[in-house]
Structure 1
């Protein structure tokens, strides 16, 4: 597996990051363009706050973890200035989107804007220890926690009381966010917070009969036999499992890592398209038709996060199944998503693995999943691999 580390490193530093450095910076109004075509041309100037935050985080993280390159810090500060000035309302809730000049387009209904803003300012504070960034990250995290039981608030379309469901995405991201902000929140806060999010992810949303993670459950954690309740998002579940693996390292709990590997492998086996290869976007736990018409598309982030999960699973447990699956997912991902002619990677394939949209960035795809996964796989596979415990003799 170590042979992959250099490949992922070179792809990150020589192909993907240079694309965003070259094409995404808005020199006139601040912040980043993310709607970029195959060649890096801007095809729309709207700015989506969660992608602004993700790009600030990415360049801050690279500056902190790889090399203190001035151009990386400059990119992070450039995005942070725009995010700080225009990104939130008077209550500190971050909007979903702005126009190029920074005027709000979509109200702060989406709490993931806040999550990635907190991540961004937290990472930037490590790179540039200005207390403004510290305080922004801390306040935003506290605001997320205060809103987490009703994240959309007045912007929710759901009628109250009839079918009250809670969604997996927020507990999942809080696993990662709490570790990202430990240098700001302090270990005591994180130590209290971790058991809550682990219990949510590994027990409340876990469907014992199928061994899979659900996207939505009733408020009391029970199964809802509805479109929403039967919904599986294999990419979400697998990404969450590498967040849990990171928490297992933080807690020195190898059993937790083993359980995360087990769930990830079960999800991958369930979600893999046996006919054409790749991982389905959405599925139904009972095999019923799903609402999402894009259910059989193959998305970049699903496959990139799976590679991270398998690399970490192998490194932490020595699982041969993780190694075998990594080889298989690596081959599919690099063959179908990587653009062989121009920089960066495609995001959207049809079921057969053909490119659906030749864009390199848009409303949902930005400078995040591809470079983060390349970084994570590179760094993970440089570490020594755990030796699995020998089975007792019969």
Structure 2
């Protein structure tokens, strides 16, 4: 693999294909915010607005403005989305709805904690871009609400009968590993360390199960024990793999090589566990005992799973020099670019069947927006850039 050519490939795909698609096709210039339900060509097929996708897009354009180039059109795109969210996205007390209609009227109550997490990311990153204190305050206050809801994220909208089967989910501690670094500029050092320590404990000592061969489970009993139920047996390989690059980033930030090494080991194990040896690609859901999963979409191949895997593998290679990471990166890069990239129109497909054929030719919907594809392209591009710079520096040192 020519890593210099790959670096250019990811950069070009991000800046000349994917980002222009969302910039041009998704902005609602009449009511504000973004359309995410876009067909293959980028035509709108539904106008409802989903808060976590709105927040993700604000974050994406703010991040690009902060870290790639000070393009005014990117900042304008982020600000108009944030202003829509600020005005309509919550109940007045920063309880963030799940969805709104086009005009901003609430459709679904604030049951979903990820509306909160991506609002936090959005306003945190935009506060860096603008210096706007109100945005910083929204991010910090929402983050405090998230922490207060950790034991019951859905609050009064929880459908589970209290006291019968109390399971805790991997999703929230996983995302808090990333979120705590995202809003580090709003947290004091001691609070950041405390929060990250708690998340690391949950991910690596509660949901990571050496006794199951080193895999990550999605749900455990409240006491941390395994549950022999549909939810307790559920494995989401993509979740486990994605969380590992969050852990690698924390390992770098905290100067903890042990965390990086463990994250690389778990990444490789989860890929081996989740890989479809018959058709290629990584399964969406699995049952740890091999029973039929309750999710009928269990054998689909999803965009975000493969893109997040690419991030974890290339970071693993950059941080540890693991040749196994590099070899797997090449294998999954080939699968991902062959199956998910639309050769005729911008942006990528999200949903394939088990055989790797396009199942839905949409470019965005209720769950897919301006996030995993561009964030993944950015992360892989920047990691390849680091690798190439490091190799160049090594060559120069050896030549002296």
Q: Same fold (TM over 0.5)?
A: yes
Q: What SS is found at the alignment partner of 1:332? A: helix
* 2:199 matches 1:197: yes
Please, which moves more after superposition, 34-43 or 179-188?
179-188
Q: What SS is found at the alignment partner of 1:382? A: helix
* 2:230 matches 1:227: yes
Q: Which runs of 5+ in 2 are unaligned?
A: 392-400
Could you tell me which residue of structure 1 aligns to residue 277 of structure 2?
Answer: 274
Could you tell me which residue of structure 2 aligns to residue 42 of structure 1?
Answer: 44
* 2:310 matches 1:307: yes
* 2:23 matches 1:21: yes
Could you tell me which residue of structure 2 aligns to residue 122 of structure 1?
Answer: 124
Could you tell me which residue of structure 2 aligns to residue 150 of structure 1?
Answer: 152
Q: What SS is found at the alignment partner of 2:107? A: strand
Could you tell me which residue of structure 2 aligns to residue 354 of structure 1?
Answer: 357
Moved over 3 A (4+): 384-387
Could you tell me which residue of structure 2 aligns to residue 81 of structure 1?
Answer: 83
Q: What SS is found at the alignment partner of 2:91? A: coil
2:219 to 216, 220, 242: 216
Could you tell me which residue of structure 2 aligns to residue 296 of structure 1?
Answer: 299
Q: Deviations over 1:243-300 (max 9, x none)?
A: 0000000011111101001011000001000111000000011111100000000000
Using the size of structure 2 for normalisation, the TM-score is: 0.96
Q: What SS is found at the alignment partner of 1:217? A: strand
Once superposed, what is the RMSD of the aligned Cα atoms? 1.0
Could you tell me which residue of structure 2 aligns to residue 245 of structure 1?
Answer: 248
Q: What SS is found at the alignment partner of 1:343? A: coil
CA distance in 2, matches of 1:187, 1:359: 43
Q: What SS is found at the alignment partner of 1:88? A: coil
* 2:200 matches 1:187: no
Could you tell me which residue of structure 1 aligns to residue 398 of structure 2?
Answer: none
Could you tell me which residue of structure 1 aligns to residue 137 of structure 2?
Answer: 135
Could you tell me which residue of structure 2 aligns to residue 371 of structure 1?
Answer: 374
CA distance in 1, matches of 2:384, 2:141: 35
Q: Deviations over 1:299-324 (max 9, x none)?
A: 00000000000010000011111001
CA distance in 2, matches of 1:127, 1:85: 20
Could you tell me which residue of structure 2 aligns to residue 71 of structure 1?
Answer: 73
CA distance in 1, matches of 2:312, 2:5: 17
Q: What SS is found at the alignment partner of 2:387? A: coil
Q: Which runs of 5+ in 1 are unaligned?
A: 388-394
CA distance in 2, matches of 1:311, 1:3: 15
Q: What SS is found at the alignment partner of 2:131? A: coil
Please, which moves more after superposition, 284-293 or 48-57?
284-293
How far apart are residue 383 of structure 1 and its match? 1.1
Q: State how many pairs are aligned.
A: 387
Q: What SS is found at the alignment partner of 2:386? A: coil
> Equivalences for 1:336-347 in 2 at 5 Å?
336-347=339-350
Q: What SS is found at the alignment partner of 1:309? A: helix
CA distance in 2, matches of 1:92, 1:66: 30
CA distance in 2, matches of 1:380, 1:293: 35
CA distance in 1, matches of 2:184, 2:129: 15
Could you tell me which residue of structure 2 aligns to residue 392 of structure 1?
Answer: none
How far apart are residue 2 of structure 1 and its match? 4.0
Using the size of structure 1 for normalisation, the TM-score is: 0.97
How far apart are residue 45 of structure 1 and its match? 0.2
Q: Deviations over 1:36-89 (max 9, x none)?
A: 000000000000000000000000000000000000000000100000000001
